[in-house]
Amino acid sequence: MKNIEKKIKKIISKQFGIKYDTILNNFSLRDDLKADSLDLVELIMNIEEKFKIEISDEEVSNFDTISSICIFLKKNKIKK
């Protein structure tokens, strides 16, 4: 799961202009990253592209923290 976390944090670092080493798994996408709906769509698109998957809107609605994204990817056997 560490590899997944690293990749998610790299995507977030680049998209939100935040230093990689300051990003915590329990960061709230909306509260800590100040992500609006457009930011979230872009984030999901970047994740889908990076991991070569499709994530349904229903699944996306469960993403509230960085950790929740990583858990989803792990449960769906994403190993990249």
The domains of the chain are located at 2-75
| pLDDT at position 1 | 56
Answer for the pair 76, 53: CB distance below 8 angstroms, yes or no.
yes
Answer for the pair 16, 35: CB distance below 8 angstroms, yes or no.
yes
Task: Kindly tell me if the per-residue pLDDT of 56 is higher than 70.
Answer: yes
Burial state string for 63-72 with b = 16 or more CB within 10 A and e = fewer than 16: bebbbbbbbb
pTM score, two decimals? 0.87
Residues 55-63 have a mean pLDDT of 93
Which CATH fold would you assign to the domain 2-75? 1.10.1200
